[in-house]
Amino acid sequence: MKRIILALILIVLLASLFLLRKSALERRLEGKERLSFLIIGLEGVEEPQSLKDILLINYQPNTKRIALVIIPPQTLVTESMKLSTLYRQKGYLLVKETLEGLLDLEIPFYVVLDDQDIVRIINLLGGIEVEINQPLPYGNGFLEGKRRLSGKECLAYLEFEEPRFGEFGKFSRWQRFIWTLIQRFGDFSPDSKLARELLKSSLLTNLKVKDILALAQEAENIREAGIEVEKIPGRTIYRDWMSYWQVDTLATSQLFKELSRELGKGEGIIRVEVLNGCGRGGIAFQVAQDLRREGLDVVNIGNARNFKYRKTLILNRSGKKGLAREVARVVGCGEPQDRIEKKALVDVTVIIGRDYLRIE
C-alpha cells in the first residue's frame, strides 16, 4: 500500500514538473531573446495547395520592436527553383530550412494556414477594428473612417492594391492591421480554451497553448511605433518568360542586422517615424532608407492623415534639442518644429511634403 501511495505521489510530482516546465518560446521571452516566426499562407481548396504568402515576423523583446518581412513566393533559392516550387515538391519544412540557410537566421516557430483559417481566427477574436483612410472597392465598398471588419473583410482589406501606391499602400495597411490585431489580442486576454480554438484554426504549427497565452501577455507591451513592414531586398529578374525575385544577400544581411540591433539608453540613437504626406507611392520607404543609411533608427513608416502637405514637416516629439535639425539635414528639406508629447515613442516625426519631390 505504501508503495502505491509513493508511486502516486511520484506521478503527481512528475506531472507538476512537466506542467510547470517553460516552453522554448517562454524561455526566449524570459531571456529577452529574439523571436522569429515564419507564417506560410496557402491558397486553393484541392491538395496540394499552392504557396500564396510568406511572412517572416521578427520580434525583439528588449526593444518591443516587431518587423514583418514579406518574402515573395517567386523568390529564387537555387539557380532554377523558386520557393513556390520548393513548397509544392518538398513541403513547408524544407521551405523553412531553406530560408534559414538563405537568410542565415534561425526561425524556431512556424504557422501554416490558408485564407479560411485566417477568417476563422479573426472571427474568433470578434473581428478587427481598423482605421480606413481611403475607400476600398469591396462589396458595397469600404468607406473611410473606423469600422470593425469580419474575417472575410479583413482579407479584402489586406490584399487590395491601389494602383497609385501599389505594394507600398498594402504594406501600410499591413502595419495598421498588425497594430490593431496586437491590441485586440492583448485586450482579449485569451484563456486556455480560446487558445486551443485559435490553434485549431491553423493547419500546422509548433506553437502550444501556453505559447499563445504568453504571446497574449507580451502583446500588452507592444507599441504602434515599434512595428515595421519590409519587403526582403532584391530585384525582379526574368528567365524563360517567367519572373523571379532575386534576393540581395548583402542588403538582406544589413536589414536583419538593423532589425536585431538592441538600442541602449546611452547610444544616442534618434528614433524616427516617416509619414507620406505628398501622395507619391513608396516615398516614405525611400526616405526611411536614406535615414537608416545615416544611422537613424526608423521605427515606423506609414501615411499621414492626408496627402495635401505642401511643405515637409520635421516634428520634434521628445523635446531633445538638436535631433529634429539633424533629421532635417539628412532629409534635405523641412523646417524643424516643436510638437512635444510627454509619452512620445519617437524622437522625430517626418511628414513628407511636395517640396521634397523637387529635391530628388
C-alpha distances in Å from residue 182, one per residue of 188, 259, 334, 344 = 10, 19, 33, 19
**Could you say which of 257, 286, 312 is where a domain stops?**
257
How far apart CA 309 and CA 334 sit, in angstroms, is: 11
Give yes or no: residues 206 and 268 share one domain.
no
Same domain for 42 and 174: yes
Q: For 88-135, what is each residue's pLDDT tens digit?
A: 888 888 989 999 888 888 899 988 888 888 888 888 888 888 776 666
Confidence at residue 135, expressed as pLDDT on a 0 to 100 scale = 60
Q: Which three cell numbers stand for residue 38?
A: 515564419
Using alpha carbons, list the distances in angstroms from residue 65 to 165, 187, 214, 222. Answer: 25, 19, 17, 7
Q: What CATH number is associated with residue 300?
A: 3.30.70.2390
HEC states along 198-227? HHHCCCEECCCHHHHHHHHHHHCCCCHHHE
Asked if pLDDT for residue 2 goes beyond 70, the answer is no
- Pair 221, 64: CB distance under 8 Å: yes
- Chosen domain end from 203, 233, 257: 257
Q: CA-to-CA distance for 359 and 293, rounded, in angstroms?
A: 18
Residue 1 belongs to some domain of the structure: no
Q: How large a percentage of the chain has pLDDT more than 90?
A: 1
According to the model, what pLDDT value does residue 304 have?
83
Dihedral pair phi/psi, residue 126, rounded to 5°: 85, 20
Residue showing cell 520557393: 83
| Residue 199 grid cell | 490553434
Please identify, among 257, 286, 311, the residue that sits at the C-terminal boundary of a domain: 257
- The mean pLDDT value for 296-308 works out to 81
Q: Into how many domains does the chain fold?
A: 2
Summarised one tens digit per residue, pLDDT across range 138-175 is 555 555 667 788 888 888 777 776 655 556 666 667 77
Residue 86 and residue 146 in one domain: yes
Residue 160 vs residues 117, 202, 243: alpha-carbon distances, Å: 19, 23, 21
- Inter-CA distances, 356 with 40, 147, 279, 291, 306, Å: 38, 33, 11, 14, 16
With H, G, I as helix, E, B as strand and everything else as coil, classify residue 14.
Answer: helix
Question: In the predicted model, what is the mean pLDDT of the chain?
Answer: 77
- The neighbouring-strand residues paired with 227 are 66
Chain length of the chain? 360
Q: Is the pTM of this model over 0.85?
A: no
pLDDT at 257: 72
Residue 54's domain comprises: 22-257
pLDDT tens digits, 175-234: 777 777 777 776 666 666 777 777 776 668 888 888 888 887 777 767 655 677 778 888
